[in-house]
Amino acid sequence: MRGSTTDALRTALRGAGRTTQDATGWDAAVRAPVGTSRRITFLAADGGTGTTTLATAVALLLARRRTGPVLALDAAGGPSALRVRLGTETAPSLDDVAYGAPVRSLGEARAATQEARSGLHLAGASGWPPQHALWADAAAAVGRFFEVVVSDAGRRAPEEAAALAAESHVTAVVARTDAGSFAAGRALAGAVRDALPDARVALVLVGVAPGEPPFAHSTRPDALTVPHDPVAARSLGTPLPELAAPARAAVAQAAAQLLTEARTA
């Protein structure tokens, strides 16, 4: 499985104009030990940024490539929630996970959540973004039994975003490349950094045109970029389809960088 996945990633990288050396480095970063459980939280700069799609893709990649279990927590809800993108009909709510029977082992943690894919469990099919405290309680109840916890927190006010970031190892603020969305993403990331100077915060720009770096690169050259994927964009409200080669390569890079940041936090 590992070899075939790496080969597919290398093929994707060639299609995206990258090198196989990139593929090897990113795959090594994705599979490296993390020590204690690490939390990666995704925030949306505004509506329609592709945050849930990106969180889904990263969670799936981590679950496929890592030997330990991965947990996805939906703290955003909505018609295209993590549950929908993962193709899971039902999932326990954050309330059930946070305030249900005490969890004392990985087996109990798996039983308290829903297996979405091999190696990936899910909880939190909420219809409305819950308070960060509910997400934090759910993550505390079961998260320590999973190597990586990937959360989709949706769109949040700066104060809520900072509260979520305070209990995460790395926070990814997702924005589109148009001027308005980019400005919102930069402002939200800046607000979190101002509130938490030591927080690991990454800006991820979604919708980059092939061969055209976004104007944002001149302002934030450290931003991660994910190209527009027409098939994924048209699939909202349904399970996430196979991404095109450039998008797969970008997701691999994002997963590697975010997990590396979380590991060293």
Determine phi and psi for 232, rounding to 5 degrees: -65, -40
Mean pLDDT of the residues in the chain: 88
Q: For residue 208, what pLDDT band results from cuts at 50, 70 and 90?
A: confident
Mean pLDDT of 233-240: 89
At 245, list the tokens. Answer: 């080669």
Place of tokens 């930069």: 186
Q: Are 97 and 123 in contact (CB under 8 A)?
A: yes
Beta bridge partners of 227: 208
Where are the chain's structural domains?
2-264
Q: For residue 126, what pLDDT band results from cuts at 50, 70 and 90?
A: low
pLDDT for the residue numbered 216: 46
pTM over 0.85: yes
Q: Which amino acid is at 26?
A: W
Beta bridge partners of 159: none
90-124 pLDDT tens trace: 899 999 999 999 999 999 999 999 999 889 999 99
pLDDT for the residue numbered 89: 86
Instruction: Give the count of beta carbons closer than 10 Å to the beta carbon of residue 96.
Output: 16
How large is the angle between the packed helices 20-31 and 2-15, nearest 10 degrees?
A: 140
Instruction: Please state the CATH superfamily assignment of the domain spanning residues 2-264 in this structure.
Output: P-loop containing nucleotide triphosphate hydrolases (3.40.50.300)
pLDDT for the residue numbered 218: 45
Measured CA to CA, the distance from residue 256 to residue 254 in angstroms comes to 5
